[in-house]
Structure 1
Amino acid sequence: MAATFTRNNAWDNGGTLEGNSDLLWYAIGVGKMMQRSITDPKSWWYFGAIHGDGPEWGGITAPPQVPPLPSPDLRGWSQCQHATWYFPPWHRGYLIALENQVREDIISLGGPSSWALPYWNYFGQQNPPDQFNIPPAFLEQNFPQAAQLPPNVPPNIPGSPNPLFVNARYGPNGDGVIFVPTQAGVNAHPQDPNSDFDFGVVTADCLSDTAYTNSFGGGQTGFEHFDSATGDLENNPHNLVHSYIGGFQGNDQNNEQGLMGDPLMAGLDPVFYLHHANIDRLWAIWNVTLKKDNPNSVNWLFGPTTNGQPDFQMPKDGSWWRFTPSDVTDIGKLNYTYEELSAPTGVVTAAQAFSARLTALRKAPAAGAIGGIENVEPGNKVELMGATQRSVVVNGAGARAPVRLDTGVRNKVVASLQGASQAAPPDRVLLRLDNVVGKIGGVISVYINMPEGGKPAQFRHLSAGSIGLFGLREASEPAGKHGGKGMSFTLDITKVIDQLHLGQAFDLDTLYVSLVPSRAIPESTPITVGRISIYRQAH
């Protein structure tokens, strides 16, 4: 049975209010929700607070004109799930509830009953090729005039303020140019090759993961607003996109932060929901197109509960909808689909990745060779190879920290690389950043053995990936739920280690890890990494 609702690409028909009816009616529906009181579960403000609320709301430069927060929090507020394996299902339920409310308002104003939330596919490279840019509908301060709009829009709409326009949306460079630094985005907005800073590239590499738990979807936790079990889907692209789109006014961390850059404000920006529709679409691609499985653990399927009731709850159809992850795993049963569900260019299968690695190591893989590529979180079938001896302070243009290696463990990695074959898959090497704390987030790229004073643009082959610090402030609050322990991330640095090995540059007792921010970090607000550790994962 075909789904009733299809979520379409926001860039269809140019991504403008006059050309894209999905975006036009989204703006009209959002506008009606904004007219309601913050205490009304059908209001825009109530839904924004479900994701997160805080005193930061009082400092937001309009538009939007954000009302004062009541005290204490109302039902269901600040329940978003981050750095947890519940990240994908909680946000899917959140989107369904928001979409349902917007559709209800659209229908009441004479709009289409088939309306569904569009998605922003910043990985799209066709029709048009620059979908890494924010759709123009979000940059128009006012609705078009009546002659450019269909006749059934409410008479007060033409020429009125556009609810999709947000002032506090500053972009990667802090200049109001809003784009996502995918590889195509970086190519279109190149940085100075002599810069000390680096745009961590936004990718869909998470789709190549083979396991949900401790990999694609995050690590096992309870009900978590922010914990330290960030999954690959959540880190990149999710966190990076949030950080880049929000940005800072003038790209100075001491200035106003864009709404999208802080989880306590992000739900107030209408582009938030199009970004999350794309994140939800990637999860659907991982399940439906790539045929990969969600967890079968009872703890995941039925989620956190209180007194036998699911903790996840959303206002929907005039009441409260409680749901579990198992209720939202199948989009077909949820009666919606996406216009396009093919994997982005560059996503490879496990077999392709393994075959390519053997080839890179100058071995001879068999056609379709596969083996030894399950993603495993450190602490499970891994061996510590080295770690920093003290915390690392990241400010200014970043930091460079030595990680002393255990010779015996390093030799095991070398032996596995030398003897690699289809029957003997070589080790993987993982880098762990633990207890990352700070007052304001951003994006930090990680380089292995980049020379001191080296420029990132000249050493791309030593890049180990990037981390997005969306939610860092909340995770670092000493009085918060997690006692200020901050965030933790795992990056697979196997490709870099392979390159060092092939270049006869892995016979050393210390690796140097460079942490390169996308913008300068003031000394007054440093980011601190509690420990950097490197693990060998044998197969």
Structure 2
Amino acid sequence: MAKFLRKNAWEKGGTFDNPDLFWYAKGVGVLQSRSLDDEGSWWFFAAIHGEEIGGGKFPNWNVLTGLPKVPTAPIPAADIVKKFWNQCQHQSWYFAPWHRGYLIALEEQVREAIISLGGPADWALPYWNYLGPGDQYKIPPAFTEEKMPDGSANPLYVTARYGPKSDGNVYIEIPPISEVCQGNTIYTGSNTSTPHPGYGGPRTRFSHDGNVSGNLESNPHNLVHVQVGGKDGWMSDPDSAGLDPVFYLHHCNIDRMWGAWNMVNDNPVDPTWLEGPAAMGEREFIMPLPNNRKGWVYTPKEMTNLDTLDYTYDDLSLTTAPLPQKTLAQRLNKLGAQPIENLHEKNMDLGSSSELVGANAGQVQLDGAGTKTSVKLEGSSWRSVSGSLMKASVNSLPDQVYLQLENVKGSADANILTVSVNHQLAGYVSLFGLRNASDKDGHNGGSGLTFILNITDIIDNLFVSNNLDMDSLEVTILPDNAIPNDETITVGRVSIYREQQKL
């Protein structure tokens, strides 16, 4: 039986009447009182998630505004920084297991502080289920109070938290935030219910800054970060996100969603995932613990199953509401194939090969009104797509079709793009991590982010209604918030790919 139970932060109305939030604030206060070079400090743990040092200064933290005041010194010894800092795994199939270990380590630090104050020895991190019923889409009120019940400063209060409209009203917009990823059935790969690159993300090595996010990471994770932080908010940038106490409640919910997903779906069995990047000669996953400051080393294999860990959740429902899932059989029927019965596709990775079938003329820049671009389709390749739709059957599966926004670059992370194809919604993408991914001296070499949107249903609709143009598709990209004159967002290329399917 699990020793610790993580519960919904909105119990008792999300106020300090909820003892989990009250003691979280007390514990966070202890960690915030410690110096930056203390491996058990709030600031040290934020830097574990992500922070860069250059010329003895922080290129990001030293310009942060708002409360609480963030220290930029004393910087730990170089070997400690190299060992612990800048570890977070993003755009990677290690995203979920790395963050699970990170939460466990932070939770132990906070629990030790709570116990030292006479608090409960079984305290556990609460989670913010912004997709839950009622007011749960709003940030719990305990995070918006300047003072604790006794009149002291509230360690959970952050002024650099601006919300989706950057007006200080912090809540989650549903949509675009959703839990549709919980309907995926494979961790890495694609099938009818699992868009590329899969629930957990693409195969990578150590990936502090990557290129393509997995479906859980794309939505809700990335979108929630940007909606909570807003313009210049700490949560909107990976390098400062760990400074905001609500960060850990957000990630606790992401971890809960992964645990719920695992109730009916499997994690990878590939040794390169189970053993982590250290098995390939790269950095290990390592965290300081209260009684082990030298470091707790862990692997994805050790994070795979909640049943083997010390904690669980009070609610591991797969979803908060039923999600309509388009099965392969339903797609074939829509395209006019004979009804298919007893077709089991749950764990099948149907993708076998991808082919570029169209691209726009080149780089486009977004302004406040967004941009429109025409994707010219290559004749013979695109005819293969329409041919696969016409011949659709269980023995001749129709192609999946993907839209890619390639090498998206910019100087700010706080925006969400709405993407449409021929006036039909293709999806939403969050620019969380864009600044780092665009830095030519960064981990990703300045190549930017790439977003993959499954537009198969749009193509099916156009085909069935006899509106599938053989020459081009029109793509519209609209920013959710205005793009200031001193910021640029560019898309290197807008492209269309077909992916052949085989059972």
- Give TM-score, length-normalised by structure 2: 0.90
In the TM superposition, what is the alpha-carbon distance from 1:299 to its structure 2 partner?
Answer: 1.4
| Partner SS, residue 22 of structure 2 | helix
Q: Which residue of 1 aligns with 2:28?
A: 30
Task: Label 1:438 to 1:69 Cα distance change in 2 as closer, same or farther (>3 A).
Answer: farther
Task: Label 1:363 to 1:124 Cα distance change in 2 as closer, same or farther (>3 A).
Answer: farther
Which of 409, 413, 417 pairs up with 2:381? 409
Task: Label 1:220 to 1:309 Cα distance change in 2 as closer, same or farther (>3 A).
Answer: closer
Alignment of 1:35-46 (within 5 A): 35-46=33-44
Separation in structure 2 between the aligned mates of residue 522 and residue 482 of structure 1, nearest angstrom: 25
User: Which amino acid is 1:4 matched to?
Assistant: K
Q: Which residue of 2 aligns with 1:93?
A: 101
Alignment of 1:56-135 (within 5 A): 56-71=60-75, 74=81, 75-125=83-133, 129-135=134-140
Query: What per-residue deviation string (whole Å, max 9, x for no partner) do you get for residues 46-80 of structure 1?
Result: 11111112432223333212112444763411111
Separation in structure 1 between the aligned mates of residue 330 and residue 8 of structure 2, nearest angstrom: 32
User: Which amino acid is 1:11 matched to?
Assistant: W
Alignment of 1:306-455 (within 5 A): 311-319=284-292, 320-345=295-320, 348=323, 353-361=327-335, 365-366=339-340, 369-371=343-345, 380-441=352-413, 442-450=415-423
Task: Label 1:67 to 1:515 Cα distance change in 2 as closer, same or farther (>3 A).
Answer: same
In the TM superposition, what is the alpha-carbon distance from 1:389 to its structure 2 partner?
Answer: 2.9
Q: How many residues align?
A: 480
In the TM superposition, what is the alpha-carbon distance from 1:388 to its structure 2 partner?
Answer: 2.0
Bigger shift: residues 417-426 or 47-56:
417-426
| Partner SS, residue 42 of structure 1 | coil
Query: What per-residue deviation string (whole Å, max 9, x for no partner) do you get for residues 223-258 of structure 1?
Result: 12101131111111111100111001xxxxxxxx00
Give 5+ residue unaligned stretches, structure 1.
145-157, 184-200, 249-256, 451-461
In the TM superposition, what is the alpha-carbon distance from 1:485 to its structure 2 partner?
Answer: 0.6
In the TM superposition, what is the alpha-carbon distance from 1:116 to its structure 2 partner?
Answer: 0.6
Identity of aligned residues (%): 47
Separation in structure 2 between the aligned mates of residue 520 and residue 345 of structure 1, nearest angstrom: 32
Which of 176, 182, 189 pairs up with 1:207? 182
Q: Which residue of 2 aligns with 1:167?
A: 159
Partners of 1:30 and 1:44 within 8 A in 2: yes
Separation in structure 2 between the aligned mates of residue 397 and residue 373 of structure 1, nearest angstrom: 42
Partners of 1:204 and 1:347 within 8 A in 2: no
| Partner SS, residue 60 of structure 2 | helix
Alignment of 1:246-257 (within 5 A): 246-248=229-231, 257=232
Task: Label 1:108 to 1:240 Cα distance change in 2 as closer, same or farther (>3 A).
Answer: same
Partners of 1:83 and 1:231 within 8 A in 2: yes
Separation in structure 2 between the aligned mates of residue 519 and residue 359 of structure 1, nearest angstrom: 40
Which of 266, 280, 289 pairs up with 1:293? 266
Query: What per-residue deviation string (whole Å, max 9, x for no partner) do you get for residues 180-217 of structure 1?
Result: 1123xxxxxxxxxxxxxxxxx01112122222123111
| Partner SS, residue 520 of structure 1 | coil
Alignment of 1:479-494 (within 5 A): 479-494=441-456
Q: Which residue of 2 aligns with 1:189?
A: none
| Partner SS, residue 513 of structure 1 | strand
Partners of 1:397 and 1:519 within 8 A in 2: no
User: Which amino acid is 2:268 matched to?
Assistant: P
Task: Label 1:487 to 1:178 Cα distance change in 2 as closer, same or farther (>3 A).
Answer: same
In the TM superposition, what is the alpha-carbon distance from 1:361 to its structure 2 partner?
Answer: 3.9
Partners of 2:206 and 2:282 within 8 A in 1: no
| Partner SS, residue 381 of structure 1 | strand
Task: Label 1:372 to 1:163 Cα distance change in 2 as closer, same or farther (>3 A).
Answer: closer
| Partner SS, residue 131 of structure 1 | helix
Q: Which residue of 2 aligns with 1:464?
A: 426
In the TM superposition, what is the alpha-carbon distance from 1:349 to its structure 2 partner?
Answer: 8.1
| Partner SS, residue 305 of structure 1 | helix
